[in-house]
């Protein structure tokens, strides 16, 4: 499993863009993790699935709510990762009204989740291999703090916890 001090895996995530802009076409666009984190502080959180109860009711809304405070604490971007496709993440972004506050990034084939060792096997529930629920503070591609939830828990990966770590 990835740990504090490690560099994020050299993988590519996908992001849905509602409108064309800044050289991005409409539709899924690749996000090279190494390039996208270079020289930035990222508040990254991951969860088992878009539109799932805890993720929709608590996890994403907390980061949207704490956006200004996280920015004030030195965070350049907030990323939400899930093992879903970019179209689902785009629809969820609309539903959650993340706007320019949270980048909703798809790890469709679970490559990032597998590379970090933070997978969650939900085959018995018909959901396949997913991402565990966690948050991490990343500076220039390196993990500064990591908060991995226990099975079925939502106690340490919330926005308030990561905000306290960003301020610290």
Active-site residue list: 55
Locate 168 and state its tokens: 């610290």
Q: Give the separation between CA 32 and CA 88, rounded to whole angstroms.
A: 19
Query: Token pair of 15, please?
Result: 């992001």
Q: Which residues in 111-137 are b (16+ Cβ under 10 Å) and which e?
A: ebbbbbebbbeeeeeeeeebbbbbbbb
Cα separation, 58 vs 35, in Å, equals 30
């Amino acid at each position: 499993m990835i740990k504090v001090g490690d560099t994020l895996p050299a993988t590519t995530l996908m992001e849905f863009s509602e409108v064309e802009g800044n050289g991005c076409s409409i539709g899924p666009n690749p996000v090279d993790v190494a390039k996208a984190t270079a020289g930035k502080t990222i508040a990254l959180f991951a969860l088992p699935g878009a539109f799932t109860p805890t993720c929709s009711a608590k996890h994403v809304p907390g980061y949207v709510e704490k956006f200004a405070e996280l920015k004030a604490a030195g965070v350049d971007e907030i990323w939400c990762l899930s093992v879903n496709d970019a179209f689902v993440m785009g629809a969820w972004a609309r539903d959650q009204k993340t706007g320019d506050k949270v980048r909703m990034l798809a790890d469709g084939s679970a490559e990032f989740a597998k590379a970090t060792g933070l997978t969650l096997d939900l085959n018995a529930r018909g959901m396949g291999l997913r991402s565990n629920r966690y948050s991490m503070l990343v500076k220039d591609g390196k993990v500064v703090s990591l908060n991995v939830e226990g099975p079925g828990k939502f106690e340490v990966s919330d926005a308030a916890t990561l905000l306290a770590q960003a301020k610290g």
